[in-house]
Chain A
Amino acid sequence: MGISQRVITLYDQPMWDSIARGRLELQQCDSCRRFRYPPGPTCPHCLSMDYAWKEVSGRGTILSWVVFHRQYFEDFLPPYNAVAVQIAEGPIVVSNLIGEEPTGSWIGAQVEFVYREHSGRMQHAVRLVESGGGDPPAR
């Protein structure tokens, strides 16, 4: 068993650099203005290759969550959670919920991104900002 590793392609590096500065920047398409995740060379919606790195709002909604009961990495001791968060800008990002947990279903809970050190790197997690809030419509 080893520790968890990041996948860092040419396009991921600026995102991880922003996370190291305590913010999340993603590529916004210059043509259709959509954000994409993971980072990549083209806009999957309009195929434009022109983009700018923009800081996202840091707000999102939990779409789903799991709790690991088996250990896969030295740096993640079970039980621990992972959440799929749809950020306000559209993309779905996987993270960890820290702090208070919702009672009952986590789906629809509003969260904000926070940044912390983990295994010698900075990365994001999310925490609750308020309870409930409903689920965004399917796109």
Chain B
Amino acid sequence: MPSGKLSKVAAVVGVGHSDYVADYARVRAGEKPHDSYGYASQAFRAALCDAGIARNDIDGLIVGPTTSYERLGEVLGLNVRWGGQADAMLSVIEACMAIESGLAEVVALVYGNDQRSAAVSYGGPDAQGAAAFLSYVYHAPWGFTSQGALYAMMFRRYMAMRGMTEAELGEVAVAQRLAASLNPNALMKKRITIEDYLASHYVCEPLHLFDYCLINDGGVALIIAEAGRAKKMSQRAVTIHGVGRCDVNEGATSLEPRLVDFYLPAQQKAAAQVFAMAGVAPSDISALQIYDSFSVHIPLALEGYGYCGVGEAGRFMREHGISLAKGLPVNTSGGHLSESYMQGWNHQVEAVRQVRGECGDRQVPDCRFVHYSSDVAGKAVSIIYGR
């Protein structure tokens, strides 16, 4: 069971990111504003500035999966005493572990990705991600490709087993677009309705265009410091109250965890850890950030993390609500569907800004705790941020 050892050992003292909107326009006009290292550099400079600290204060570095660890450290001029490479959610946990163990005190987490201008493909003959996830390429001989198709296959069965409809899933895209319409950093600000959602074309049926994330260039960085130092560094430090993780690997390529139980056991175990470590319950959470490469992640997380009963996500989204206008606010920046597809990194920034109370028109009132969750390919990871 969770030891709670990582609770409140570290806090986020700075966040930064590239200009998603301006770069999206430039890339669509045929320009190449930066490569992954350039976006990462912009984000790092912004995070340092936000934290109000000097580069020399940093003694740990974690880089995202899309850049070389050494080269990004070289570009940023960072010699450190501890470092590594991880995705957004695991890098936050690893930073807490390094700080708790004394291997580092102030860790920079830096990500840059030029996926749109570099024309990275997530389906077809050159589908990205094969080295990490065999399921992304193994079924290609039957035309079964793209991560969207994996979630379409999962959602089709989920609809039948749990009694959910396409219109209920549409609540996700509609709610997140409402949030994006209030976020100056969001790429897709035009509000949509359930009717717009249902009228949009299928990409891989039963998933519609609006169920898919954006593909854009950008960079994100966070500075995480030991809790005591964080308090001295910043009045606005956002504490990491708990973390949780459970990975399902067995049967992953043959899609068993997707089709048999929809990742539920992994999410329930990660939820038990994170809530126990943070000493809070779902009812204490002011806003929820969920990794949303596809809208399907949202009902899975609502059930898996205990925000509604198993089989109730459709009704919960439709009746209780998951938007800034009604119910439990989910993906208050617009998420990957409507703000920016920064592979979980922009969700951490939004969580921090919501707790700080800096979100303007999209601010969740009296925001005390923000819960982040992801379940990419059945790897459930959870983080609770708070004051």
Q: Quick one: closest B residue to A82, CB to CB?
A: B144
On whether the beta carbons of A82 and B256 are closer than 8 Å, the reply is no
Q: Which secondary structure dominates where chain B touches chain A?
A: loop
Q: Does B250 contact A (CB under 8 A)?
A: yes
Chain B residues, Cβ within 8 Å of A92: 251, 254-256, 259
Given that A6-B140, A66-B153 are contacting pairs, would A94 and B255 also be in contact in the complex, using a CB cutoff of 8 Å? yes
Interface string of B326-369 (1 = CB under 8 A from A): 00000000000000000000000000000000000000000000
Q: Which of the 9-residue segments B1-9, B93-101, B198-206, B286-294 touches chain A?
A: B198-206
Q: Indicate whether A118 sits within 8 Å of B260 (C-beta atoms), given known contacts A38-B254, A107-B160.
A: no
Q: When the two chains form the complex, which single residue of A44, A80, A107, A121 contacts B143, counting CB atoms closer than 8 Å?
A: A80
- The verdict on A139 contacting B250 (CB below 8 Å), with A65-B156, A82-B143, A94-B255 known, is no
Q: How far is the CA of A68 from the CA of B259 in the complex (A)?
A: 18
A45: min CB distance to chain B, Å: 9
- Contact between chains at B261 and A107 (CB < 8 Å): no
Task: Pick the contact of A69: B138, B142, B205, B251 (CB < 8 A).
Answer: B205
Q: By the criterion CB–CB under 8 Å, are B142 and A95 in contact?
A: yes
Question: A96: CB under 8 A from chain B?
Answer: yes
- Is the CB–CB distance between A4 and B255 below 8 Å? no
With an 8 Å Cβ cutoff, the count of chain A residues facing the other chain is 40
Assess whether B21 is interfacial by the CB under 8 Å rule.
no
Please tell me if A138 contacts chain B, counting CB pairs below 8 Å.
Answer: yes
For the complex, what is the distance from the CA of A77 to the CA of B339, rounded to whole Å? 32
B18 CB-CB contact with A under 8 Å: no
> Residues of B contacting A103 with CB < 8 Å?
none
Within the complex, which residue of B125, B204, B254 is in contact with A91, where a contact is CB–CB below 8 Å? Answer: B254
In the complex, 15 of the A-B residue pairs with CB atoms within 8 angstroms, ordered by the A residue number, are A4-B145, A6-B141, A38-B134, A44-B251, A64-B160, A69-B205, A72-B125, A72-B145, A73-B143, A73-B145, A75-B143, A79-B205, A82-B143, A82-B149, A107-B156
Residues of B within 8 A of A (CB): 123-126, 130, 134, 137-146, 149, 152-154, 156-157, 160, 201-206, 250-251, 253-256, 259-261
**Chain A interface residues (CB < 8 Å from chain B):** 1-7, 37-38, 44, 63-70, 72-73, 75-76, 79-80, 82, 84, 91-96, 105, 107, 118, 121, 123, 125, 138-139
